[in-house]
Amino acid sequence: MKIKRYAICLCLVMFAGIILYSQQEVVISIKDGMPAIPLALPEFITQSPSPEIRAFGKELHQIIAGDLDYSRVFQLLPKSYYSYIRPLNPKNIFFKDWQSIQATLLLVGILSESEQKDFLFEGKIYDVKSGRFIFGKRYQSAKSLLRLVAHKMADEIMKIYGERPIFTSKIVFISDRDGNDELYMMDYDGHNQTRLTFNKIIDYMPAWTTEGEKIAYTSYRGTEAGLYIYNPYEGTRKEVMSTGTNYAPSFSPDGKKLAFCSTIEEGNSEIYVANSDGTDIRRITFNNAIDTSPAWSPNSREIAFTSDRGGTPQIYIMDAEGSNVRRVSFGGSYHDAPAWSPTGDRIIYVSRVDQIFDLYVLNLRTNKIIKLTESTARNESPCWSPDGRHIIFSSNLNGTIQLYTIDYDGRNLKRLTSRGNNKLPDWSR
């Protein structure tokens, strides 16, 4: 199925992120353990008598608030605080009012209606203590793309602080909700779930390319499990390998390479590396064990993977060309599905203890391991968010297999899917 770009990108229907003001260079890196930034987010001001525009303003406010709260970079001040200060006048802001309720930042939003009956949204960020204008964006958009406008604004606020934007990122996954395992795509928060493939064969293990334009995945055609690269925006598909069983694709963060597993040579699962377009395939593991689940390091110089070469499935790391192999998981009889955090200091993986599958995080700097999930459910297929603060995974916590997100420290478990069984997520970078 071909997905038209105008349904996903604002560029054809809006002045995407036009800066109306001189922007100050404000880049502050937020680290784990740092206190969240107190942010005041009063209701947006609507400069239109239209009830529809007023409703849009409330929805935009709700989405942006949800995004910033999810980020763990910002702490939204309770609405009850606003009752102690005078109403907001965007032309004459009394910053001492906002300072009195302990706000560090103030986000002012203004909505109006354009001559084309689209909506106009203007967002401004102020430093409360100095009363200084920091940043502003103005968007003109079709009403159907309201959620995307909200996510773009939230992403811009994240970038002010040197953070990787995640709110316009996409998640690809497998679902059987329509009777067959097919590729689906959704927003980071579970909205806009869209089916991508339409066939009567099994699709499996999708992985985004680095730029988020294409998806590598396994498709069972006949008795063979071939590897393909699919462009959902153009509806095109390219074959990478169709002989043997080919699965678990993973693109390097630098956009140059594609790692995957194949049984093509000896009937045994080994790891191969190709160019990102699927050309120049070469094998990088050579043994009688099962090597699987390759995952690139953020600098694209190393690959974490699963191997039972020591007798049981364990997590190993090797250099990108297959040398310098070393084991990093010890204890237990089953570890699988490693995923390297974007920050490069942690690997999350699945471990089975007493027939229970949970997620564990290995800190590569300290060699300490924390257990991220704690349940009798089967928790699998972890994948990091682009900023490294959240993980998406599949679980049968409520009976059927669904997708959940959880923060890196085990907080804020959130369910994203509900129809059918949903699994094998990959979060675009």
Local confidence pLDDT in tens for the 429 residues of the chain:
555 433 333 333 333 333 333 333 333 333 455 689 999 999 999 998 889 999 999 999 999 999 999 999 999 999 999 988 999 999 999 999 999 999 999 999 999 988 777 899 999 999 999 999 999 999 999 989 999 999 999 999 999 888 999 999 999 999 999 999 999 999 999 999 999 999 889 999 999 999 999 999 999 987 789 999 999 989 999 999 999 999 999 999 999 999 999 999 988 999 999 999 999 999 999 999 999 999 999 999 999 999 999 999 999 999 999 999 999 998 788 999 999 999 999 999 999 988 899 999 999 999 999 999 988 899 999 999 999 999 999 999 999 999 999 999 999 999 999 999 999 999 998
Q: Where are the beta strands (DSSP E) in 297-421?
A: 302-307, 314-319, 326-327, 335-340, 346-353, 356-363, 369-371, 379-384, 390-398, 400-407, 414-415
CATH of 170-427, one of 1.10.10.10, 3.40.50.1980, 3.10.20.30, 2.120.10.30: 2.120.10.30
Distance between CA atoms of residues 115 and 48, nearest Å: 12
Q: What is the pLDDT of residue 375?
A: 84
Distance between CA atoms of residues 107 and 109, nearest Å: 7
Contact indicator for 5, 233 with CB cutoff of 8 Å: yes
Extents of the domains making up the chain: 5-160, 170-427
Report the alpha-carbon angle 305-309-313, nearest 5: 55
3-class DSSP state of 97: helix
Q: What is the pLDDT of residue 161?
A: 85
Q: What is the pLDDT of residue 21?
A: 33
Q: What is the pLDDT of residue 3?
A: 53
Distance between CA atoms of residues 407 and 405, nearest Å: 7
Distance between CA atoms of residues 227 and 225, nearest Å: 7
Residues in the chain: 429
The correct answer on CATH 3.40.50.10070 for the domain covering 5-160 is yes
Fold match between domain 5-160 and domain 170-427? no
What is the DSSP track for 134-155? EEEEEEEE-GGGHHHHHHHHHH
Question: Cα separations (Å) of 6 from 23, 122, 185, 402?
Answer: 28, 21, 16, 29
Q: What is the pLDDT of residue 187?
A: 98
Distance between CA atoms of residues 11 and 268, nearest Å: 47
